[in-house]
Chains A and B, each alone.
Chain A
Amino acid sequence: MLIPLFLLIGFGAAVLYSAAGGSMQPFASSHLIRFGVFLVMASIIAMFSKGVIQFLTYPAYIAVVLLLVAVEAIGAMGGGSQRWLDLGFMRLQPSELMKPVIVLVLARFYDALPLGMIASWRALVPAGLLIGLPMALVLMQPDLGTSLAMAFGGAVVMFLAGLPMRWFVGAGIAGAVAVPLAFFFGLKEYQQRRVTTFLDPESDPLGAGYHITQSKIAIGSGGMDGKGFNNGSQSHLNYLPEPHTDFVFATMAEEWGLLGGIFVIGVFAIILGWGWRVANASDDRFARLLAAGLTATIFFYVAINLMMVMGLAPVVGIPLPFMSHGGSSMMTNMICIGGLLMVNRWNREAPKRRLQ
């Protein structure tokens, strides 16, 4: 499993090397260093036993919620919105930490919930509060992308926990009603504009639709095998916005073409497939929900980012796991990987109970 991940990280570093205009600085080297650091962290996470994790779940959740409150407070004092805490050696985004933690806490909650209550309100309301509180805090930042990622991770865990289907159908209908309302009353104007431009990027090719248009040009002009390493004009001449973070896939696709894109999507398929196999291989409800939720979180990043750069989704600031330059996203995704490795280890160490 780690081999595809290494390939992806290495490939990401190559793309970042090119995005920096053919230089290891400033993106590629720090990308590799961060990966190294967080790989160690993931290995440490993988060594935790189930008991310790279950014991630490709620404290961790409370700690991250407090961090989110702290960010809000500092932001309010500083007179502007901010998303991170400056820890000196890195800028920590508590909302990023919340993504794996929300999966963890819900897995813990449904593990502890008596089976008979799964179809009752007791299964829904506390979970809803567990998701709703951090979502509200993140939305206040405001960071729509991250709060949606958290909602998605939480919803996947609830779905897999076996909550009645009609609740999801109902939520779907409620969502269909709520989305237009949220669009007109809940979103800030720049967020609304992102959505409208997504629906018609050509309406304003030099204004708000610029990101999507340029990203599509970068991907489309790459062709089958790309313009060649370090030869992408869209990224090198600054036509592509954020060529090293959110639009790193477009940078890659311009230089490596469809083949590079298939490679990246394929590697993600392998990693996510492994995640699902880990979840399914586990007999323990907590571990199963945790692994599936972590996999879904990584998937959410990948899917939304790729849909965005290919013009299938509005521009939301969600980076591509393992390829985009950025510490917080690397940390979140490596926590997810660490969690999956941990569940995988539990599976291996658990007594085989194939005869049930």
Chain B
Amino acid sequence: MVGKGKRKRKQPVISTSTLKNSFDRRSFVIASVQGGIGLLLAGRMAYLSIAENEKYRTESESNRVNLSLIPPRRGWILDRDGAPLASNRADFRVDIIPERLANPDATIDQLGSLLSLEPDRINDLKQEVSDARGFQPVEVAKGLDYEQFAAVSVRLPDLQGVVPQRGFSRYYPTGATVGHLVGYVGPASAEEYEADRNPLLITPGYKIGKDGLEKQFEQELRGVPGARRVEVTASGRIVRDLETRDDIQGDPVRLTIDGPLQNYAARRIGLESGSVVVMDCKTGDLLCMASMPSFDPNSFSDGIGSVEYAMLREDERVPLRNKVLKGLYPPGSTVKPMVSMAFMEQGLDPNETVFCGGGLRVGNRVFRCWKRGGHGTVDMAKGIYQSCDVYYYHFAQRIGMDPIAAMNRRCGLGQEFPLPVTSQFYGTVPDPEWKLNKFGREWQAFDTVNATIGQGYMLASPLQLAVSAARLATGRHVMPRLNMATPPKGFDQVDFPDEHVRYVRQAMSDVVNGPGTAGRARLPFDDIKMAGKTGTAQVVSLSKSDGRTGPWRFRDHGLFTFFAPFDNPRYAGAVVIEHGGGSGSAYPIARDVMTFLFDPAKGMDALRRLETQWGGTAQERLDRKYAAFAQAAGEAVSPPPSRDEDIFDLVEAEARVAAQQPSEIAEEVIAPRPEATPSGAPRPNPEQQVIDAAAAGIAQ
């Protein structure tokens, strides 16, 4: 508009009045533009302060107020008697606030002598303090004992800028023996924070459950954080306290675990790799779920060190795997009492006999009894206490696989239990349908034969075996429980008729107390008799190993399921020793564990003798091993995965692979291993076996 006017006025003579006109017009334009800018500014301001007021008010408040969370004290994990399996230990630390130090070097020197810090550390601190800006505290030391803490605290008037703090760290009094069961704690990972956007998770020093019960009961144990609201300046100086709310400690979780028993059983496993599960037959309480070797949850909770992780990773006994829940093993002969129950349910008279000549031909293959010389005439009781394989080969052919598989499942094999655990493997109870689905092949007679002696495709966890022992012992559908708060279950459901139960109890008692395979498992009490069933599970084919010697990982697993007292069962359980070379590695442990349960002093005596031989308690041996490993490995160890989840995902994946190993020989003829014998009967020598083989051929 103005431009147009101007252009027209280009030709005419410029005079004072045209310039005045031009000035008026242009000044009006400029004034209008200025007025417009004024309105724009007023509008902008109204927009900021009215429309966006809410947003900026919040931002201003979050500038002004600094909310620092006080991490809640974690709830304790208690055993059945209220003794802590996981508790909190007062953790004393000392920080300094650089800005408040009058004479930094002198103060640090004084702290150094009070806390007996290394000269290196003192120099580092001086450097840190001189580099530090603002009001962020610098950590001087943590994990102090009370005396050091007190020494600093009383001198506070002379130590300006020094802040002693009291926090809590997780403490597991029994260390490695509860590692798998209880788990450990650690700082929340990025994923965990994604999943649960709780600001507590990113509070420095706060730790959440990373594995086991710590993870499972996270919400109960967590508690409610306290909070401290302070007004701060832009540079972080605290102007005043606005409000402080105390934390509320997390709820305790009371387990059915018997702490001393758990500790005892874990230590009793000794140098072996395996697990012990003990249940209360009256309630289903899991009294002990020990899995060794294990890791020390105390040191894991401080962060998993590279050397420690490398040591645990490289150990072929997989200390990171919870073998109670994630170890799957062919149950071996421990299934025989269950198979017997199936036979009786199907109407087999337990007194009906078969002649064992050391083997049985099924189809065109010959299946051996573990006793190459044969057991002679065998009825059901003898089948159990002498663990005669031929007895089961013979009657399983008559009864068929389906009732046997159903009975195994009813006893707990192939089942998952409603327990507060992060994961449990359910194993395999094979039957014709399962095999067809899985491999597309028909069930063969030899599959039945393998399954009746707990080999072939059959896999069970120690927990399942313990449950089966409890169900056989009581005749009830006992459900295991781990949390005192859940009611006992399954006692109203009768699994087996009383007379069958009594029969099996007696036969299993004879395994230990009669002419059975585990005479050395007898309890050192006159009035308490333990019943049990041995099992020896072959893991690789005969051509690779004889199961007793050679590489550790080719040796047979040793299994033992048990209950006591045999006539009125109070406790039941299972011991599984990986590659222990046979059931002889398992039942002495069961014996000592039960001894401890009935008479702790007697049990401890037995353990102490053994531990002297082994070279110390489990914790001592772990510590020593760590020291030796650290020395040997030096710096050349691979660091642990940065996410704790990766560690246990890897362990779980490997556990699944490991569980597949025995089924590689499922299609082979299993040569049952000699069961340990009561009176130290001579083991069959190789020549004897050749003769046996010939005899077996003739027998059919």
Residues of A at the B interface (CB closer than 8 Å) are: 115-116, 118-119, 156, 159-162, 164-166, 169, 214, 216-224, 233-234, 237-239, 253-254, 257-258, 261-262, 265, 268-269, 272-273, 276, 279-280, 283, 285, 288-289, 292, 296, 299, 303, 306-307, 310, 312, 356
Contacts and interface: CB of A to CB of B under 8 A. Distances in A.
A221 B60 contact: yes
B60 A218 contact: yes
Given A220-B49, A222-B49, A237 B232 contact: yes
B3 A285 contact: no
Contacts of B26: 159-160, 162
B234 A219 contact: no
A309 B3 CA distance: 33
A220 B57 contact: yes
Nearest to A210: B234
Interface string B221-236: 0000000000111110
Contacts of B19: 115, 118, 161-162, 285
17 contacts: A115-B15, A116-B13, A160-B23, A218-B56, A219-B49, A220-B48, A221-B56, A224-B50, A233-B60, A254-B60, A261-B42, A269-B38, A280-B24, A296-B30, A303-B37, A307-B41, A312-B41
B44 to A, nearest CB: 5
B35 interface: yes
Nearest to A265: B42
Nearest to B7: A165
B46 interface: yes
Given A160-B23, A161-B19, 13 more contacts: A115-B16, A164-B6, A166-B3, A166-B6, A216-B56, A220-B49, A221-B61, A233-B231, A272-B34, A280-B27, A285-B16, A299-B34, A307-B37
B27 A217 contact: no
Contacts of B232: 237
Given A223-B49, A272-B34, A310 B6 contact: no
A237 B63 contact: yes
A296 B37 CA distance: 13
B31 interface: yes
B2 A238 contact: no
Interface in B3-49: 3, 6-7, 10, 13-20, 22-24, 26-27, 30-31, 34-35, 37-38, 40-42, 44-46, 48-49
A261 B27 CA distance: 26
Most A C-beta atoms less than 10 A away, residue of B10, B41, B57: B41
Given A159-B30, A310-B44, A258 B16 contact: no
B691 interface: no
Given A223-B50, A224-B49, A237 B231 contact: yes
A25 B44 CA distance: 32
Contacts of A234: 60, 63-64
Interface in B533-566: none
Interface string B393-424: 00000000000000000000000000000000
A257 B49 CA distance: 7
B57 A223 contact: yes
Nearest to A223: B53
Contact of A217 (B24, B35, B59): B59
A162 B55 contact: no
Given A118-B19, A265-B42, A310-B48, A279 B64 contact: no
Given A221-B56, A280-B24, A237 B233 contact: yes
A299 B37 CA distance: 10
Contacts of A219: 45, 48-49, 56
B147 interface: no
- What does DSSP make chain B's interface, helix, strand, loop or mixed? helix
Contact of A292 (B14, B27, B56, B231): B27
A303 B233 contact: no
Contacts of A156: 30
Contact of B50 (A165, A237, A254, A258): A258
B436 interface: no
Contact of A233 (B15, B45, B63): B63
Interface of B: 2-3, 6-7, 10, 13-20, 22-24, 26-27, 30-31, 34-35, 37-38, 40-42, 44-46, 48-50, 52-53, 55-57, 59-61, 63-64, 231-235, 239
A252 B23 CA distance: 37
B9 to A, nearest CB: 9
A217 B60 contact: yes
A162 B22 contact: yes
Contacts of A356: 17
B35 A261 contact: no
B38 A119 contact: no
B234 A119 contact: no
A347 to B, nearest CB: 15
B22 A238 contact: no
Closest 7 CB pairs of A and B: A220-B56, A221-B60, A165-B6, A238-B234, A233-B64, A220-B48, A221-B56
Contacts of A265: 38, 41-42, 45
A269 B15 CA distance: 32
Q: With a 10 A CB-CB cut-off, give which of B34, B41, B49, B61 has the most chain A CB atoms.
A: B49
A118 B14 contact: yes
B417 to A, nearest CB: 53
A160 B19 CA distance: 9
A157 B223 CA distance: 72
A115 B23 CA distance: 14
A115 B24 CA distance: 17
A162 B40 CA distance: 28
Given A220-B56, A257-B49, A164 B23 contact: no
A312 to B, nearest CB: 6
Contacts of A261: 42, 45, 49
Contact of B14 (A115, A296, A303, A312): A115
Contacts of B22: 162
B27 A237 contact: no
B63 A239 contact: yes
Contacts of A217: 56, 59-60, 63
A345 to B, nearest CB: 20
Contacts of A237: 63-64, 231-234, 239
A175 to B, nearest CB: 16
B361 to A, nearest CB: 83
Given A233-B63, A253-B49, A303 B57 contact: no
Given A115-B15, A169-B3, A276-B31, A310 B45 contact: yes
Contact of B53 (A165, A220, A276, A279): A220
A64 B315 CA distance: 85
A310 B41 contact: yes
Nearest to B235: A238
A289 B59 CA distance: 46
A356 B21 CA distance: 13
A356 B3 CA distance: 26
A182 to B, nearest CB: 23
A160 B30 contact: yes
A159 B64 CA distance: 48
B10 A164 contact: yes
Contacts of A268: 38
A339 to B, nearest CB: 16
Given A237-B239, A258-B50, A276 B38 contact: no
Nearest to B23: A160
A221 B59 CA distance: 8
Contacts of B233: 237-239
Contacts of A169: 3
Q: Which of A161, A169, A217 has the most CB of B within 10 A?
A: A217
Contacts of A307: 37, 41
| Chain B CB within 10 Å, residue with most, of A221, A265, A285, A303 | A221
Given A160-B27, A238-B233, A265-B38, A165 B2 contact: yes
Nearest to B14: A115
A355 to B, nearest CB: 13
A262 B38 CA distance: 10
A106 B20 CA distance: 17
